[in-house]
A and B are shown apart, each in its own frame.
Chain A
Amino acid sequence: RYVRQLQRLQLLFSPTAADARGARQFVEEEALDFTRRHPDVVLYVSPRSIPAPLLLAEYLNGTVREELIASKTSEEIVQLATKLAGQSGLDIVRIRKPFHTDNPSVQGQWHPLTNKPSALIVQGPRLQPQ
């Protein structure tokens, strides 16, 4: 079972601005294909009078990411949208370890006394074997 972390994509653009041409082409041609390929993402298209076209992505943990799509071709916008659809809402910060486990040790964690004979069995030079 896999749950996509992207909740909704809001495409804000203005129908008259010159740098929103790619956004308008994307809406005309590729928006339907994109929604068919990603059926669990909701795409809101709202033409408003905004100075610069934006692509808002909201994730299930509440983070909102804004990407500028001014003067980008529709293919670039499609690539951007697929990249955002594959991401999760976690912050893009340096991750210290590329792995994460909840149960790191199965056979018991090693400590310096594993695999060593106990002090009762070892025969020293003075102890007589009983």
Chain B
Amino acid sequence: IAKTSLTSPPWPEVKLPDPAEEAKYHAEVVQKVNGMIAAGQYGRLFAVVHFASKQWKITSEDLIMMDNVLEAECGDRIRMEKVLLVGADDFTLIGRPLLGKDLVRVEATVIEKTESWPKINMRFWKRHNYQRKRIITNPQTVLRINTIEISPCLS
């Protein structure tokens, strides 16, 4: 059959490696990463956490503010589950979609429970003598991420 411009797709054909070889390679990489974690050769860890219907990229000692009320008092330590991604300088652990709870541990403390700045909610119709003004203050909580820890429990 003659080869035309539409016989083969325009993207380059990729050959997948052998599944057995691939499994061996995966096991080797996992062992190496486990060894690195156990030896403690990572510097700063960052994590992507799903919290309060938003995804945050957090490191240790940083501040996060949410527009809601948590049921924890000021000064309580909170453990965040629902960790999507953990990364360090040389390796990253990607979850599908979440990582195991025995792998990662993210701890935070509630620092502050305040209200937001007073927002003005005004409705006005011209020539109808109609205006309503309302001042809204949303409750907010400020968290500080204390630590992100990982343990060598990969498989």
B112, A5: Cβ atoms under 8 Å? Answer: yes
- Please encode chain B, from 62 to 97, with 1 for each CB lying within 8 Å of some chain A CB and 0 for all others: 111111000000110000000000011100100000
Smallest Cβ distance from A10 to chain B, in angstroms?
A: 20
Q: For the complex, is A119 an interface residue (Cβ under 8 Å from B)?
A: no
Q: For the complex, is B22 an interface residue (Cβ under 8 Å from A)?
A: no
- The CA-CA distance from A125 to B150 in the complex, in Å, is 48
A86, B61: Cβ atoms under 8 Å? Answer: no
Given contacts A86-B74, A102-B61, contact A2 B66 (CB under 8 A): no
- The CA-CA distance from A79 to B59 in the complex, in Å, is 34
Looking at chain A's contact residues, the main secondary structure is loop
- The CA-CA distance from A99 to B49 in the complex, in Å, is 13
Query: Which residues of chain B have C-beta atoms less than 8 A from A85's C-beta?
Result: 74
Query: Which residues of chain A have C-beta atoms less than 8 A from B56's C-beta?
Result: 99
Query: Which residues of chain A have C-beta atoms less than 8 A from B111's C-beta?
Result: 2, 88
Smallest Cβ distance from B142 to chain A, in angstroms?
A: 8
- The CA-CA distance from A74 to B75 in the complex, in Å, is 26
State how many residues of chain A have any CB contact under 8 Å with chain B.
20
- The CA-CA distance from A94 to B134 in the complex, in Å, is 17
Query: Which residues of chain A have C-beta atoms less than 8 A from B67's C-beta?
Result: 98
Q: For the complex, is B15 an interface residue (Cβ under 8 Å from A)?
A: no
Which residues in window 25-68 of B have CB below 8 A to A? Answer: 43-46, 56, 58-59, 61-67
Given contacts A98-B65, A107-B87, contact A87 B113 (CB under 8 A): yes
B117, A87: Cβ atoms under 8 Å? Answer: no
Which B residues have a C-beta under 8 Å from some C-beta of A? 43-46, 56, 58-59, 61-67, 74-75, 87-89, 92, 109, 111-118, 142
